[in-house]
Amino acid sequence: MKIIRSIKVMQDYSGAEKKKGKKIGFVPTMGALHQGHLSLIKRAREENNSVVVSIFVNPAQFGPKEDFKKYPRDLQKDALLCKKNGVDVIFYPSAKAMYPPEYKTHVNVQDLSSVLCGKSRPGHFQGVATVVAKLFNIVGPTRAYFGQKDAQQATIINRMALDLNLPVKVRVLPTIREKDGLALSSRNLYLSQEERKEAVVLSEALKLARKLIRAGEKKSAAIIAAMRKLISSGRNAKIDYISIVDAKTLKPVPNISGKCLIALAVWIGKTRLIDNTYAS
């Protein structure tokens, strides 16, 4: 397994692989790898000849009061996991290489980026779309793999790839969860023991929503009210948002119809967690 830090070396590697007719599977990450990332790597390994994982804590997607400096970083541990799971290359660029002093260009996917998480994290998805567009251009993947836990991000990346005619197939794979239902996230490391137990309320609220829908409830407001009541009973939980939206447009829907996304963001203590599920 290679660790490549240079953008040009990464481009040269991918170019050589594609000249040989090889398919490149790509998993973009910010490191702190867990089983959710490994599930993406596994699928990439199954579907492609070469697997590239990027590890880059992207400063452009963090707000001024967010956790950029304390975001977990452990290249040695991540590299070991990558090697064990059949990764061919880790692309590990510096922030200076990705965003040199004269950098001026950004990618913004309108409408999709200003709702849900984008409403409380302005500029976040511009940072995400920009770095992923850059990574797609540098790595030149055949297929790129994302997790359903970050459903809004996956929707935005898919729209961007389509709109900009990027020659990459975006794959979105199911959320990987702990045994108690908590969605795996690098930010789970921030939780205290008490907060970790309480964090399960996110997945429990989604289960409640699905239960209500199966029982015949179709009104989004009623479903959201029940979810709010459940989450608000927690000692450390503070709701950022709970929304039921069209899975493609991310626009709110008053009634469950077609493919809807139930998404939520909740602060557990000082840690903001997200989760989601499909209503149908």
Helix intervals (H) in the chain: 7-19, 35-47, 75-84, 95-98, 117-120, 124-139, 151-163, 193-198, 201-214, 220-232
Q: DSSP for 252-278?
A: B-SB--SSEEEEEEEEETTEEEEEEEE
Q: Give the pairing of strands 24-29 and 89-91.
A: unpaired
Q: Which CATH superfamily is domain 2-173 in?
A: HUPs (3.40.50.620)
Residue 280: predicted pLDDT? 66
pLDDT tens, position by position, 151-162: 999 999 999 999
pLDDT tens, position by position, 31-75: 999 999 999 999 999 999 999 999 999 999 999 989 999 999 999
Burial of 233 (0-12, 13-18, 19+ CB in 10 A): exposed
Residue 212: predicted pLDDT? 97
Q: Can you tell me the distance from the alpha carbon of 158 to that of 170, in angstroms, rounded to the nearest whole number?
A: 6
Could you give the 3-state DSSP secondary structure of residue 180?
Answer: coil
Fold matches, 2-173 and 186-278: no
Residue 159: predicted pLDDT? 98
Question: 186-278: which CATH architecture?
Answer: 2-Layer Sandwich (3.30)
Q: DSSP for 190-224?
A: G--HHHHHHTTHHHHHHHHHHHHHHTT--BHHHHH
- Residue ranges of domains in the chain: 2-173, 186-278
Residue 235: predicted pLDDT? 87
Q: Give the pairing of strands 24-29 and 50-55.
A: parallel
Catalytic positions are 37
Could you give the 3-state DSSP secondary structure of residue 28?
Answer: strand
Residue 234: predicted pLDDT? 84
Query: Which residue's structure tokens are 């998805």?
Result: 125
Residue 185: predicted pLDDT? 96
Tens of each residue's pLDDT in the chain, 280 residues: 999 999 999 999 999 999 999 999 999 999 999 999 999 999 999 999 999 999 999 999 999 989 999 999 999 999 999 999 999 999 999 999 999 999 999 999 999 999 999 999 999 999 999 999 999 999 999 999 999 999 999 999 999 999 999 999 999 999 999 999 999 999 999 999 999 999 999 999 999 999 999 999 999 999 999 999 999 998 899 999 999 999 999 999 999 998 999 999 999 999 999 999 999 6
Residue 232: predicted pLDDT? 95
